[in-house]
């Protein structure tokens, strides 16, 4: 069978997949007795219609860029990292330890150190599953799922028994010092007029964008990136070409874990300014949908993260204004994963056939 | 450290907490033995829990609830089958989608039908599977040692508990003593050989997925209308993943699956009862007990203590040669 044109593979098929997912979501809204058109209008105005809405949309998108890139990098090495949730949880611990360690004199220093802490802890939490996959052949999907649960228990223990301030009942760390406070987009000269004071979007957005560029450069413009892609396409061929599989699995998973962990500078350092239980709130899993939708390309991940940021913020507004609960977003997320990921062939086969037929008729 | 009545109570909750794990674990066993990875056990259980709770609340009948629960679980099994078998998609991604679909869908529908914040109305006794008192349990109650074991531990569970335990030898028999079972195991190891023998790989895998849907339906129904009195948001609470862990722990075999799920049920029962466990030298925090099933599974997967080798064709869509 002849190959599809590039535009069909990159734009047409994902667009059809998304359309099906959204169409079914609309049917679900109809089925619970609400008006889908009104729902979309509310979501758009709630998420994009005001500076406040945009602030939240970009805040969520920042989280999803990190977790989406994390899943994408692992996918390039044909590793399915479901452990973003746990890695981001541990990343939060890294951020909290760094932020509480010193009375930081300036946020830039704190940000630099906290980023390192987040990346290091996230990577460390990915390291064991990665090593077990590389050395012992333990299925990485299962081990990363297990590490999500172990990570949640570990953090629960640390917050309740170790890091909770004396006299506090809340399982959370103390508030971070003032020097570790990241400027929100409102505080940045020139953006202050656009973004409201109370929105959580902060400078981490720019780090996320830089991470997109860095991942793009790594995957397509370095020797390591080439090795990762080669290994992901065919392990046997990569091995024959002298690529060390243990090294590639380890490196790809460590980068993936570090990216997931770095999400914590946005939600822990930038927003809550202390570490609480369940701070990740499912963003690790949304990374899977984001990476699938973005076809594992940083630019695609960026667009998909914005879309999911919009869905998240829009969904929150929807829950306020109508009887539609926030869980609608979980359904949409599931449908996006289903149609862009698992049921991709359902659309791809007929499209391929149509192109083939069109190609024959043209001859 | 623990007196006899306490021990009986803990073992009794072990059974109650182990049974949903057992049913889900056996579900995963059929599916994965046929070469279809199933990380959507959690979602299927949740769907069954919701539909059984909802229909039992509306009709007042536990049996209709059971049917609805199985139907709910089956619908997700069909989605997984379409993605994993018919359209040869990634089975893990499909499983992830199934879990999220259930997680969102159940709350959405529960809220729309009952307006109780994502729960179903609390069930009266008619809508639940009540305890079955085994013959002679009352009479033997006062007999020392054996009496409490028979009365508290063996008797007084709902019908689904006895069904779950019966499923263990049944599964063993089906897998290892019937032609269907032989073919099912073969399709998980070498589907091409089964296909060459003129047996449909697709039909076998769909049958396995349907059995998995049925068993997850029982598991979810048990949670919602036997163990509890109705469905609550996210009520499976990761049990589908513990069942998956138990399946690996049991190395994809039915009788060890019973042992693994009861062990994990026991750990949960202990964690529910005690905050911290003082072993003299070290104090084990409750969070450690909660994480223990997952830690044990990672150790088993690492292959340091008896390697767990999954069915060889697991996760691979079968493409017929032309």
pLDDT digits (tens, 9 = 90+) for A76-98: 999 999 999 999 999 999 999 99
A23 Cβ partners below 8 Å, 6+ apart? Answer: none
Q: What is the mean pLDDT of residues A272-288?
A: 89
pLDDT at B322 over 70: no
User: A149 vs B118: CB contact, 8 Å cut-off?
Assistant: no
| B100: closest CA of chain A, how far (Å) | 5
Beta bridge partners of A276: A172
Nearest Cα to Cα of residue A142 among B58, B37, B71, B217: B37
Interface contact flag, A146 B297, Cβ < 8 Å: yes
Is residue B309 scored above 80 in pLDDT?
no
- Here the tokens at position B198 are 């003129």
Q: Tell me the domain boundaries of chain B.
A: 4-237
Locate the chain B residue with the closest alpha carbon to A146. Answer: B294
Average pLDDT in the B250-279 region?
87
The shortest C-alpha distance from B2 to chain A (Å) reads: 25
The helix or strand, by DSSP H or E, that contains position A192, with its residue range, turns out to be: none
- The number of beta carbons lying within 10 Å of the beta carbon of residue A89 is 31
What's the DSSP call for residue A184? B
pLDDT in tens, B183-202: 999 999 999 999 999 999 99
A283 contacts chain B (CB < 8 A): no
* Contact at CB, B93 and A154, closer than 8 angstroms: no
* Residue A2, pLDDT score: 55
Chain A's closest residue to B288, CA to CA, is A153
One DSSP character per residue, A240-293 reads: HTT--HHHHHHHHHHHHHHHHHHHHIIIIIIIISS-BTT-STTHHHHHHHHHHH
Query: What pLDDT is attached to residue A70?
Result: 96
* pTM metric for this prediction: 0.90
Give the sign of the dihedral formed by CA B168, CA B213, CA B220, CA B97: positive
Which residues on adjacent β-strands are paired with residue B283?
Answer: B278
Greatest mean pLDDT among A231-245, B129-143, B144-158 lies in A231-245
The dihedrals phi and psi of B313, each to the nearest 5 degrees, come to -90, 10
> Which residue of chain A is at minimal alpha-carbon distance from B296?
A146
Q: Beta partners for A172?
A: A276
- Contacts of residue B322, Cβ cutoff 8 Å, sequence gap at least 6: none
| Average pLDDT along chain B | 89
Compute the distance between CA of residue A157 and CA of residue B163 in angstroms, rounded to an integer: 37
Q: Which residues of A touch B287 (CB under 8 A)?
A: 153-154, 156-157, 160
Q: A25, A334, A350: best mutation site toward chain B, by most B Cβ within 10 Å? A: A334
pLDDT of residue B306: 61
Average pLDDT of the segment spanning A154-174 = 88
Contacts of B111 in chain A (CB under 8 A): 32, 323, 325, 327
pLDDT of A196 higher than 80: no
**Chain B partners within 8 Å of A132 (Cβ):** 298, 301-302
CB-count burial class (<10 Å; 0-12, 13-18, 19+) for A188 = middle
Predicted local confidence at residue A278, as pLDDT? 86
Long-range contacts, B132-138 (Cβ 8 Å, 24+): B132/B156, B132/B157, B132/B158, B132/B159, B132/B162
Which residues, in sequence order, are CB contacts of A279 under 8 Å at separation 6+? A89, A92, A264, A267, A268, A272
Backbone angle region of B203, left / alpha / beta, with phi > 0 → left and psi within -120 to 50 → alpha: alpha
With an 8 Å Cβ cutoff, is A27 touching chain B? no
Element (H, E) at B283: strand B283-284
Element (H, E) at B158: none
Residue pLDDT, tens place only, B23-34: 999 999 999 999
| Set of chain B residues whose Cβ sits within 8 Å of the Cβ of A285 | 96, 100
CB contact under 8 A, B301 and A82: no
B103 Cα to chain A: minimum distance (Å): 7
Q: Does A334 touch chain B (CB under 8 A)?
A: yes
* Tens-place pLDDT, residues B21-70: 999 999 999 999 999 999 999 999 999 999 999 999 999 899 999 999 99
User: Binning pLDDT at 50, 70 and 90, where does residue B243 land?
Assistant: very high
Q: Are A143 and B301 inside 8 Å of each other by CB? A: yes
Tell me the domain boundaries of chain A: 1-34+326-363, 62-310
Judge whether A136 is closer than 8 Å to chain B, CB to CB. yes
pLDDT for residue A1: 46
Q: CA nearest A325 in B: which residue?
A: B108
Residues of A in contact with B92 (CB under 8 A): 80, 82, 141
Tell me which chain A residue has its CA closest to the CA of residue B98. A334
The segment with the largest mean pLDDT, out of A103-112, A257-266, B115-124, B188-197, is A257-266
B101:A338 CB<8 A: yes
| Residue among B265, B233, B240, B234 nearest B161 (CA) | B265
- Longest distance between any two alpha carbons in chain A, whole Å: 80
> Which pLDDT band, with edges at 50, 70 and 90, does B148 fall under?
confident
Is residue B262's pLDDT more than 80? Answer: yes
**B22 vs B164: CA distance, rounded Å:** 7
Q: What are phi and psi of B232, to 5 degrees?
A: -130, 150
**8 Å CB contact of A342 and B89:** yes
**Nearest-CB residue to B104 (from A31, A323, A328):** A328
CA dist., res. B255 & res. B148, Å (int): 26
Residue A192 has pLDDT above 70, yes or no: no
The whole-angstrom separation of Cα B23 and Cα B27 is: 6
CATH number of A62-310: 1.10.3470
B75-134 pLDDT, tens digit per residue, is 999 999 999 999 998 898 899 899 999 999 999 999 989 988 888 888 887 788 888 888
Predicted pLDDT at A105: 87
End-to-end CA distance of chain B: 67
B123-145: b (≥16 Cβ within 10 Å) or e: beeebbbeeeeeeebeebeeeee
Closest chain A residue to B237 measured between Cα atoms? A149
Nearest-CA neighbor of B50 among B104, B2, B125, B14? Answer: B104
Cβ(B129)–Cβ(B159) under 8 Å? yes
**pLDDT at residue B1 above 60?**
no
| Closest among A154, A157, A103 to A124, alpha carbons compared | A154
Residues of A in contact with B112 (CB under 8 A): 31-33, 323
DSSP secondary structure letters along B69-125: HHHHHHHHHHHHHIIIIIS---HHHHHHHHHHHHHHHHHHHHHHHH-SSS--PPPPG
Q: Are strands B277-278 and B283-284 parallel, antiparallel or unpaired?
A: antiparallel
Using one digit for the tens of pLDDT, what is the confidence trace for A201-243?
888 999 999 999 999 999 999 999 999 999 999 888 988 988 8
Distance from CA of A203 to the nearest CA of B (A): 31
Section B288-308 average pLDDT: 79
Q: Does A24 touch chain B (CB under 8 A)?
A: no
């Amino acid at each position: 069978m002849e190959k599809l044109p590039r535009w069909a593979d990159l734009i047409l098929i994902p667009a059809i997949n998304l359309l099906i997912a959204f169409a079914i979501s609309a049917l679900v809204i109809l089925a619970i007795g609400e008006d889908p058109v009104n729902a979309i209008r509310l979501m758009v105005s709630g998420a994009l219609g005001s500076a406040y809405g945009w602030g939240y949309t970009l805040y969520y998108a920042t989280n999803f860029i990190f977790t989406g890139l994390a899943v994408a990098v692992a996918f390039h090495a044909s590793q399915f990292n479901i452990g973003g949730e746990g890695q981001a949880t541990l990343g939060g611990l890294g951020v909290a330890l760094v932020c509480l360690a010193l009375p930081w004199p300036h946020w830039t220093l704190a940000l630099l150190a906290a980023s390192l802490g987040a990346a290091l802890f996230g990577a460390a939490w990915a390291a064991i599953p990665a090593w077990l996959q590389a050395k012992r052949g333990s299925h990485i999907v299962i081990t990363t799922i297990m590490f999500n649960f172990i990570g949640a228990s570990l953090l629960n223990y640390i917050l309740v028994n170790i890091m909770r301030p004396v006299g506090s009942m809340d399982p959370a760390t103390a508030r971070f010092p003032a020097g570790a406070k990241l400027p929100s987009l409102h505080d940045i000269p020139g953006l202050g007029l656009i973004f409201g004071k109370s929105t959580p979007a902060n400078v981490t957005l720019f780090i996320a964008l830089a991470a997109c560029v860095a991942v793009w450069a790594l995957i397509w413009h370095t020797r390591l990136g080439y090795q990762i892609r080669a290994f992901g396409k065919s392990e046997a061929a990569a091995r024959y070409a002298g690529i060390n599989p243990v090294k590639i699995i380890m490196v790809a998973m460590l980068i993936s874990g570090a990216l997931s962990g770095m999400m914590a500078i946005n939600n822990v350092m930038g927003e809550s300014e202390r570490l609480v239980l369940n701070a990740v709130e499912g963003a690790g899993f949304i990374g899977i949908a984001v990476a699938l939708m973005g076809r594992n390309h940083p630019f695609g991940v960026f667009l998909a993260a914005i879309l999911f940021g919009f869905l998240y913020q829009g969904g929150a507004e929807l829950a306020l204004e109508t009887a539609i609960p926030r869980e609608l977003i979980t359904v949409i997320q599931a449908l996006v994963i289903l149609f862009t990921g698992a049921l991709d062939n359902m659309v791809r086969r007929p499209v391929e056939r149509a192109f083939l037929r069109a190609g024959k008729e043209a001859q | 450290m623990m007196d006899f009545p306490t021990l009986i109570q803990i073992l009794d909750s072990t059974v109650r907490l182990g049974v949903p794990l057992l049913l889900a674990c056996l579900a995963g066993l059929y599916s994965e033995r046929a070469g279809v990875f199933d990380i959507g056990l959690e979602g299927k259980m949740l769907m069954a829990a919701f539909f059984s709770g909802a229909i039992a609340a509306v009709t007042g009948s536990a049996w209709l609830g059971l049917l609805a629960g199985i139907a709910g679980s089956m619908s997700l099994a069909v989605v997984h089958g379409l993605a994993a078998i018919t359209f040869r998609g990634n089975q893990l991604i499909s499983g992830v989608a199934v879990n999220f679909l259930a997680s969102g869908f159940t709350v959405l529908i529960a809220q729309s039908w009952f307006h109780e914040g994502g729960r179903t109305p609390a069930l009266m006794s008619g809508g639940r599977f009540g305890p079955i008192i085994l013959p002679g349990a009352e009479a033997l109650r006062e007999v020392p040692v054996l009496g409490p074991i028979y009365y508290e531990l063996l008797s007084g569970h709902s019908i689904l508990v006895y069904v779950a335990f019966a499923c263990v030898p049944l599964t063993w028999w089906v897998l290892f003593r019937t032609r269907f079972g032989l073919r099912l195991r073969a399709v998980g190891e070498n589907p091409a050989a089964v296909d060459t023998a003129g047996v449909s790989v697709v039909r076998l895998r769909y049958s396995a997925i349907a059995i998995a849907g049925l068993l997850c339906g029982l598991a979810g129904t048990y949670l919602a209308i036997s163990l509890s009195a109705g469905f609550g948001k996210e009520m499976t609470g990761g049990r589908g993943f513990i069942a998956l862990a138990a399946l690996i722990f049991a190395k994809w075999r039915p009788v060890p699956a019973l042992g693994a799920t009861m062990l994990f049920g026991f750990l949960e029962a202990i964690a529910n009862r005690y905050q911290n466990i003082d072993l003299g030298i070290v104090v084990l925090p409750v969070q450690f007990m909660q994480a223990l099933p997952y830690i044990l599974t990672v150790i088993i997967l690492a292959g340091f203590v008896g390697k767990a080798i999954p069915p060889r064709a697991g996760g691979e869509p079968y493409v017929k040669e032309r």
